[in-house]
Structure 1
Amino acid sequence: MSLFSWLRPASPLLPEAVQHRLERLPPGAELAQCSLREQRWVVLDLETTGLNLNKDRVLSIGAVVVEDGAIDFSQQFERTLQCADLKRAPSMLIHGLAPSAIAAGSDPAQALLEFMEFVGDSPLLAFHAPFDQHMLGRSLKEYLGYKLQHVFLDVADIAPLLCPQANIREAGLDEWIEWFKLEVFERHNASADALATAELALILFSRARQQQIDSALELQQRISQWKRRQRAPSF
């Protein structure tokens, strides 16, 4: 045994049926040269107890699928996760979930497994994706011992890349919704925010094709190039 093995959290003990389902999950696929229209995307939003990457917890998962150039309303996912030690605090202003809804929620391990089955090997889209990626990955590791390796693209990067004339690079989802004049009838819960992000993504994919960005892989590469330019010192 390693001298420092006791520092690593123990893998959760899972029922045999859950372990079998976990083992059947496909690994996240690399982005391919298929068109943006053909690619199946899972658009994700999480509600959490707060914004601390290391201490706060996932309370709700909302997701919708974008495929064939449209939102597929037959493929939606929504779960509220139980959180027994949640304190009634100002954090409720962040996630908007009543204690009764959280108490009646799904077992976190079961909900997270069902979500990854819903995702399959598809890449994920989110607004401010690094936060969702980190929080989801931490929860999957804690409850299922599963390492998240799926591709994430950040709609908060795609929007200013393709629409520099908006001049709102540091904007939140609400600002982009307003800039594109989207009619969004509900916000600030996981499912509604995932749907709003998906609507924004469809507009941006159309902009990408107008700019000769035709594939998911090419979009990922253009985002990486754009981010390097943003970080480069200006003289």
Structure 2
Amino acid sequence: MPKSRSYEEFVDKFKSEKTTGDCYTPPEVYDAVLAWVRDEYGGRHGVPIVCPFWPGADYGRVEYPDGCVVVDNPPFSILAKIIRFYQAHGIRFFLFAPGLTLFSVMVPGVTCIAADLNVTYANGAPKETHEHELETAERLRANGVRCMFQIDHEYVKGDDGRLVDRGLADLADGTELKSLHACSSKNTVFSHMKNASRKRDAVRVVFDNFHNRGMSDDELAKCLRHAQAFKRGTVYVINSDGILVRIK
């Protein structure tokens, strides 16, 4: 199954887009997945591979050649809608998504494959990237923010000469992610702010309130405005509508 165009060309086309990471999957990851799909499902020579998800694109208007297969990383927030579109039009597909998202859509006629693994970053260090972090990153992506995870700790020498494990922000640009679920306590929010203030490179905090039913967006914003910790950086909230809003 040759790709209709190289994935490198697909990625290069959008390198000038500085404000979004809507569809970026590292080429080595994409190639590994595509090779697995070919081996597992017996892909024939000449079957075109389509990558319809990129910034500003409408997957419903993309040209799908006869017999093609979609292998791509779609917007997770509309995954069920995308799957139903492909089913209705008889288009074969293999889509990437976080595990919790896969099993939350549960569209009839679709097989979900969950990979039990951790992420190893470019410096060779392993880090477990949690589902809630990936989901928050997806919502940031939908707001035009590109997310690049990093190892969230470092070892430095303490005053006694011993190595001390110190925390770093979740993202390489200094963004700390805080996902709220059933959080109704101001003390919990204040604790998150104190924790962020201890991250050496943290310059902003994003509170994801999308799934939180314990505290409204207005209540969270008021709480964050009164928080005394993390005065050196900016604070944002992803509200219940999935919109990124700066609080202070």
Which structure dedicates a bigger proportion of its chain to helix? 1
TM-score by length of 1: 0.22
TM-score by length of 2: 0.21
Greater relative contact order (Cα < 8 A, sep 6+) = 1
Q: Which one has the largest radius of gyration?
A: 2
